Amino acid sequence: MLDVIIALLPTTAAGIWFFGMPAVWTIAVCVSTCLAVEAMCRLAMKREGTIGDSSAVLTGLLLALNLPAGIPLWMAALGSAFAITVCKQVFGGLGKNPFNPALAARAFLLISFTGPMTTWLKPYWWKTPDAVTTATPLASMKPMFDAAATTTATPHAGSDGIPALWDLVIGNMPGCIGEVSAVALLLGGVYLLFRKVISWHIPVSFIATVWIYSLVSGGAPAHVQVLTGGVLLGAIFMATDYVTTPATSKGKIVFGVGCGALCMLIRQFGSYPEGCSFAILIMNAFTPLISRWTQPKPFGG
């Protein structure tokens, strides 16, 4: 838990750098609410306290990084309480939840409060007119899937609301607090791989599937699809959750491919421009089946 929190510090710092105090308040509310609700749930269930395992801190931090910086703080608190109670403690606590609590809470907030959840603060360094809010690159790219079917023209970064490559890499674009900076997310991913907290199977298969799908389907360039939205945050930090993903190497690859394919299908055909959260949650539901199909036979079995 502490290693994952450490790995999230670069993207947390990047989110605060680009979105300022609204990001700070959102992170503080999510983490503090998760800690308080976790303590109250364990007390109400008359079970041993679990604050010390840092899982509530990680859930709050992950949820905050999956939210817009300008979301009303009471919604952030509500989502945090939902993550701990409905998505975690109802199932018995850490290690027993079938779905990633932070992503399930984000989906709950997105469905319940679509407007605030799709209203994005303009980064301080974003070179656009003086509007406070703006569209994300994914929202700008949404019409390009349809355009790709009727024209041979290829959209390029820096036009049609898509940031230039440098902005995509460092994170100078609208989006959720923790999903904008590719370099910060990759830095955290390298740390987790070095510490052997995660393996390469899910992140690589997830990102590779998004890349290949983008090349085949047309529309926005493949690197833009990978560097925008929640692909890197989801592939490195959300889809690699021990509890809700397969344990075998083969199963992890199947899981990652499924996440990447569903993410792109939702982006192309769904009502929301982003599908990463829903893709991972859907694959969470298939984790027991994937584990069963990919479980190796014992020697001599």
SS (H, E, C) 224-264: HHHHCCCHHHHHHHHCCCCCCCCCCHHHHHHHHHHHHHHHH
* Residue 299 lies inside a defined structural domain of this protein: no
Q: Is the residue at 147 inside a domain?
A: yes
Q: How far apart are CA 21 and CA 70, in angstroms?
A: 10
In a domain, 110, yes or no: yes
What does the pLDDT profile of the chain (301 residues) look like in tens digits?
999 999 999 999 999 999 999 999 999 999 999 999 999 999 998 888 778 889 999 999 999 999 999 899 999 999 999 999 999 999 888 888 999 999 999 999 999 999 899 888 878 765 555 555 555 666 655 555 544 444 333 334 444 557 788 888 988 888 899 999 999 999 999 999 999 999 999 999 999 999 999 999 877 788 889 998 899 999 999 999 988 999 899 999 999 999 999 999 998 888 777 889 999 999 999 999 999 998 887 787 6
Residues 97 and 183 in one domain: no
Cα gap 196→192, rounded to integer Å: 6
| Same domain (yes/no): 73, 183 | no
The answer on 92 and 131 residing in a single domain is: no
Residue 94 lies in a domain: yes
CA 94 centroid distance within chain: 20
Domain that holds residue 200: 124-294
Q: Which of 117, 149, 167 is the last residue of a domain?
A: 117
If asked whether residues 88 and 181 sit together in one domain, one would say: no
- Residue 34 sits in the same domain as residue 86: yes
Same-domain pairing of 141 and 251: yes
Tokens matching residue 216: 């085949």
Virtual CA dihedral for 179, 3, 284, 82, nearest 10 degrees?
Answer: -70
Last residue of a domain, one of 63, 97, 117: 117
Number of domains in the chain: 2
Rounded distance between C-alpha atoms, residue 260 and residue 242, angstroms: 18
Global pTM reads 0.88
Do 155 and 179 belong to one domain?
Answer: yes
SS3 134: strand
CA dist., res. 151 & res. 130, Å (int): 33
Give yes or no: residues 104 and 247 share one domain. no
- 146 with 189, same domain: the answer is yes
For residue 300, tell me if it sits in a domain: no
Q: Is residue 301 one of the residues assigned to a domain?
A: no
Q: Which residue has the tokens 């604050």?
A: 51
The pLDDT value recorded for residue 177 is 94
**Lookup: tokens for 177:** 């607090």
Question: Are 128 and 113 in a shared domain?
Answer: no
**pLDDT at 154 (0 to 100):** 38
8 Å CB contact between 57 and 34: yes
What pLDDT is attached to residue 150?
Answer: 40
Length of the chain, please? Answer: 301
Residue 157 lies in a domain: yes
Cα 229–chain centre separation = 8
Are 198 and 247 within one domain?
A: yes
DSSP assignments along 66-83, one per residue: TS-TTS-HHHHHHHHHHH
- For 229, left (φ over 0), alpha (ψ -120 to 50), or beta? left
Indicate whether 190 belongs to any domain.
Answer: yes
16 to each of 65, 116, 129, 186, 294, how far by Cα in Å? 10, 19, 21, 17, 41
286 with 137, same domain: the answer is: yes
End of a domain among 67, 82, 117? 117
